[in-house]
């Protein structure tokens, strides 16, 4: 139930498990070669069926692959003493109240900021639900002039009306669960 073909998934702009369950082997960690994912031995999880079960199996497979990545990363950590660079930065800061528990955890004061140069920035990463995209336009102030975040859940949810046509009510819950949305992402 809730079958999505490969071409249909690409046309809707789906990403993550929604795309890989339709037979498309697309994972930004392998495509963009960002961070240190190339240093680890792991496989892109994909299925060709395109249904709710395929999306479920992809997520289970991704958890297994994540554990493999974590185990390999832990084995690569060198032994010996370590240093917390964040603590060193806070110790040098000219405003000691920034270190206070009340400032950092209780009050609603803004965090210390820094000025960015005037530029446009675009980044995308492979999040658990798909591609998380961020676009910033900076105008040399402490706050971005424009800031756009494109979460994967919002895009993946758009195909829901097509997937639930002529389905039973109980099947709709399974299909919605296989999309794996977070309402905080899709409240546009």
Q: What is the pLDDT of residues 150-186, one digit of tens each?
A: 889 888 989 999 999 989 998 999 999 899 888 777 7
Rg of the chain over CA atoms, in angstroms? Answer: 21
Mean pLDDT calculated for residue range 129-138: 90
Q: Between these two residues, 79 and 54, which has the higher pLDDT value?
A: 54
Query: pLDDT digit string (tens) for 10-61?
Result: 999 999 999 999 999 999 999 998 889 999 999 999 999 999 999 999 999 9
In 3D space, the residue among 136, 165, 130 whose CA is nearest the CA of residue 151 turns out to be 130
Mean pLDDT calculated for residue range 116-126: 86
pTM of the model: 0.75
| Cα distance between residue 154 and residue 169, in whole Å | 22
Domain boundaries, given as residue ranges, for the chain: 6-75+116-179
């Amino acid at each position: 139930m809730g079958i999505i073909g490969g071409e249909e998934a690409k046309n809707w702009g789906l990403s993550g498990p929604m795309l890989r369950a339709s037979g498309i082997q697309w994972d930004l960690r392998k495509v963009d070669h960002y961070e240190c994912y190339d240093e680890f031995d792991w496989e892109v999880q994909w299925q060709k069926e395109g249904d709710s079960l395929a999306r479920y199996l992809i997520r289970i497979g991704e958890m297994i692959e994540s554990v493999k990545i974590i185990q390999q990363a832990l084995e690569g950590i060198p032994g010996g003493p370590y240093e917390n660079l964040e603590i060193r930065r806070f110790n040098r800061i000219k405003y000691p109240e920034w270190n206070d528990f009340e400032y950092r955890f209780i009050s609603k004061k803004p965090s210390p900021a820094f000025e960015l140069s005037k530029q446009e920035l675009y980044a995308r990463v492979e999040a658990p639900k798909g591609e998380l995209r961020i676009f910033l336009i900076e105008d040399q102030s402490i706050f971005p002039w424009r800031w756009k975040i494109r979460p994967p859940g919002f895009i993946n949810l758009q195909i829901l009306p097509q997937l639930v046509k002529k389905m039973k009510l109980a099947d709709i819950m399974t299909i919605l669960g296989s999309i794996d949305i977070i309402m905080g992402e899709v409240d546009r």
